[in-house]
Structure 1
Amino acid sequence: MTARASDGRVPGRRGQATRQRLLECTLAMLDTASYRDLKVVDIAREAGTSPATFYQYFTDVDAAIAELAGDMAADGATRLGGLLEGTRWSGEDAEASVRMLVTGFLDFWDANRPLMRVIDLKAAEGEGRIRSTRKDLLAGFSNGLAECVQRKSLPDAPANPWAMASVAVTMLVNVAIQREIFAASEIPDEDMIDAVARLLLAAVTGTTTG
């Protein structure tokens, strides 16, 4: 999608570079400052430009964050979908394969934690564009997981595949959000990943052995 200035213009090469630098500085500052404390003047200073220049490209800080979130969601949906496609749910290596899926999901969340923290906050507050972005990030993964449940579960499994997938994705997301809390509680990361992998395998197949 073509990047545009706040007035709808398509910036030239230098303008595109400035716009990208403002986005990169916004993202970097989310890692060190509270979202509520982030100001246009601080982002502009970090990017080596002026607040007036910032407003040429974004109406406010929220607009820049929404742009970052949209880019991350598009890339993330592809990445998470790839993890799911490569997962084996049966056979001797099923548990190890599902473990790799869990690790990949958690690593993706960790890599985007500062932005995900803001997305979760704004989605919980009902911000429509961010809610839609969060849905876009997880919808393909959730639907793909539901299809796995449908194909791999035991014949007499009573659960609705989409309900099971939604619960499983909620589990993954909440573990990802609280991963730092697990670490502070001295629960070994490897043990936590093993537990999630076994639960996920059971959710999809009805067994913990594949």
Structure 2
Amino acid sequence: MSGSAPRLAHIVLQTNQLPVMREWYLKVLGARVAFENPAMCFLTFDEEHHRVALFGPPGGGLPERTPVTVGLAHSAFTFATAGDLIARYTELLEAGIEPRVPVQHGVTTSLYYRDPDGNMVELQIDNFATADEATEYMRGGEYSADSIGPSFDAAAFAKAYHEGTPVSELTTRQWAAQFPQVDVFEMLTT
């Protein structure tokens, strides 16, 4: 292959409730509106002109999808640090937006949310310093044996972080496994 590899530019979501989705994504992603008209809204939160686009056809009427319909399972957004992820978690909690399920994948520490249309949105941090280290972990025994990983208590995660528990400890499956477990697959698909 020649040339540079492509980079993911944006995702587009169709919706029957454009204003509600717009407000949710502005809050959850800390985004700003780059362009908007009555049928669409382009949002960004970084150097790209838009990362999430929302399309609401005039008059709505799109058939509703369910969490188990064929299509996009979820979108994911990475934060630079555990502190950044916890700060966003706290902001969202104060706004009445709670994670559906927190998951310690091993390769990432992730908080999954459902948007107003039922789409799953993952807010995460990478648990490894480089992509090569993460890839090596994914090829190893722990991840191969269970590629989803245990759930954990998001409030306990935030509390432990603020109390000084090292991030290197908080971002392990061993730390997450101490909490009562939920069926992560079921939480992601219902």
The normalised TM-score by structure 1 is 0.31
Choose between structure 1 and 2: higher helix proportion: 1
Per chain length, whose mean CA-contact separation is higher, i.e. which structure has more relative contact order (CA < 8 Å, sep 6+)? 1
The normalised TM-score by structure 2 is 0.34
Choose between structure 1 and 2: higher strand proportion: 2
